[in-house]
């Protein structure tokens, strides 16, 4: 597969699928779906970033769009600045959690929200038609830098969350930014909150020292770093474009991406006292979120997997917080985007209010075990055999907005075809690892027989 394109944007390997010509075609196709005006762009720190950015700038200028370049910045910052500057749209130049040889584009509407499925289909149609309207020499777009734009994002968070109530004494916060988009901005933000920052992999001019996806297996060195340094209260690990946050406790133990949203929602409800306690997440996020939110008088609503799907459901039900179990937290009072600044703020608010170390707080969370697997089956074969899957779980409630999710007594299983590959993803969660593994194996064996 040369490139991947869907509601998460465009991604490809530089030198293989992702070429300047292809980038120009996608940017021109995006530009047909926004009104004339200005476009905000920002990028992560990949080696290929300048090459991709130059292709993006050339394409937009040729189409007559003015460009505001905010430099190396988290994707949520590009989204926020797009909204606050009343731009026609925005493009974040990043391949998110993919390795450094990848790069890509995330397409943003003028309201700071990602393109939805309908808009993505329109881009695909534009790619086929290639009826682009390039401008004459005297009507080309202009380019300007805005190095102060990031402060708009930071200041908005300061205004929305009461940081004066933080008990800031002697809190030491470790950051592993993977030498990526959050390397300078996120430590600066935490220092402005009033906490001491201990940096690891916060050099945006250096190569990625690890796989940028903040999973446990990629954060062993960060865990060792926290243990060896000592006197660290919490660690935050970022992905390539700094919209997702994984947490490590004061012992260097990986808390898990799933629990980022659980903790953020818990602290938001407990300490910010929202009247509306509706939380939206996707079908594959831990049931611990439901337990914690309901115990605090709230409710959880489920959406299809994908940030834009969660955002649209949040808007529909007027949720006060949401996100996904990949470390992404969406706080509408700041913006409708997975936002590391919002996530870190809420986590630090809760930790500061508590007299307990993070490990003790986490030990009180509901304990579930999640297993993720996949099987090589086409979407067509999967859809043909939906009735047999439903029959296998006869008597249990199910949700079919995104594949099939069955809620069992003490567990659940979500079976969904990939949007980008001929595979079906199988995710199960239970109170015991044995039960979760058993559920996944049962479905894999059933689907091998059926397909």
Residues that are catalytic: 96
- H/E stretch holding 37 reads none
Task: Give the Cα separation of 370 and 108 in Å (integer).
Answer: 32
Task: Give the Cα separation of 139 and 432 in Å (integer).
Answer: 64
Question: CA dihedral defined by 121, 127, 130, 134, rounded to 10 degrees?
Answer: 90
Q: Are 184 and 210 in contact (CB under 8 A)?
A: no
Closest by CA position to 57, among listed 45, 40, 44? 40
Q: Are 5 and 120 in contact (CB under 8 A)?
A: yes
Q: Are 118 and 156 in contact (CB under 8 A)?
A: no
Task: Give the Cα separation of 44 and 219 in Å (integer).
Answer: 20
Cβ neighbours, 10 Å, residue 317:
14
Q: Are 368 and 287 in contact (CB under 8 A)?
A: yes
According to DSSP H, which parts of 161-217 are helical? Answer: 185-193
Token pair for 404: 């099939």
């Amino acid at each position: 597969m040369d490139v991947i394109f869907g509601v998460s944007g465009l991604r490809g390997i530089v030198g293989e699928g992702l070429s300047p010509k292809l980038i120009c075609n996608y940017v021109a196709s995006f530009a047909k779906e926004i009104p004339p005006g200005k476009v905000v762009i920002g990028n992560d720190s990949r080696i290929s970033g300048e090459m991709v950015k130059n292709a993006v700038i050339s394409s937009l200028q040729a189409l007559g769009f003015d460009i505001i370049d905010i430099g190396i910045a988290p994707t949520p910052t590009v989204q926020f600045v797009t909204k606050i500057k009343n731009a026609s749209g925005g493009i974040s130049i990043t391949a998110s959690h993919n390795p450094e040889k990848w790069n890509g584009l995330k397409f943003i509407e003028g309201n700071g929200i990602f393109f939805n499925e309908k808009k993505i289909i329109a881009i695909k149609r534009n790619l086929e038609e290639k009826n682009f309207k390039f401008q004459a020499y005297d009507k080309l777009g202009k380019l300007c830098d805005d190095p102060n734009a990031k402060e708009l994002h930071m200041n908005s968070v300061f205004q929305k969350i009461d940081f004066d109530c933080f008990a800031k004494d002697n809190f030491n916060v470790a950051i592993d930014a993977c030498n990526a988009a959050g390397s300078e901005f996120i430590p600066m933000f935490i220092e402005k909150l009033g906490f001491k920052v201990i940096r690891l992999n916060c050099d945006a001019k250096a190569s990625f020292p690890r796989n940028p996806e903040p999973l446990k297996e990629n954060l062993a060195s960060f865990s060792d770093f926290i243990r060896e340094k000592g006197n660290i209260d919490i660690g935050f690990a970022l992905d390539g474009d700094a919209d997702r946050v994984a947490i490590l406790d004061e012992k260097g133990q990986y808390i898990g991406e799933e629990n980022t949203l659980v903790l953020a929602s818990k602290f938001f409800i407990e300490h910010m006292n929202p009247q509306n306690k509706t939380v939206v997440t996707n079908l594959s996020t831990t049931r611990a979120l439901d337990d914690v939110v309901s115990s605090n008088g709230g409710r959880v609503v489920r959406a299809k997997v994908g940030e834009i799907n969660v955002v649209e459901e949040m808007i529909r039900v007027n949720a006060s917080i949401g996100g996904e179990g990949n470390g992404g937290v969406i706080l509408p009072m700041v913006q409708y985007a997975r936002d590391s600044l919002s996530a870190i703020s809420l986590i630090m608010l809760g930790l500061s209010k508590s007299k307990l170390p993070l490990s003790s707080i986490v030990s009180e969370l509901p304990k579930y075990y999640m297993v993720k697997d996949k099987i090589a089956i086409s979407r067509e074969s999967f859809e043909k055999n939906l009735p047999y899957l439903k029959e296998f779980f006869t008597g249990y409630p199910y949700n079919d907005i995104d594949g099939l999710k069955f809620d069992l007594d003490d567990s659940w299983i979500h079976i969904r075809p990939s949007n980008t590959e001929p595979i079906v993803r199988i995710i199960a969660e239970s109170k015991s690892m044995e039960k979760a593994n058993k559920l996944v194996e049962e479905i894999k064996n059933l689907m091998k027989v059926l397909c």
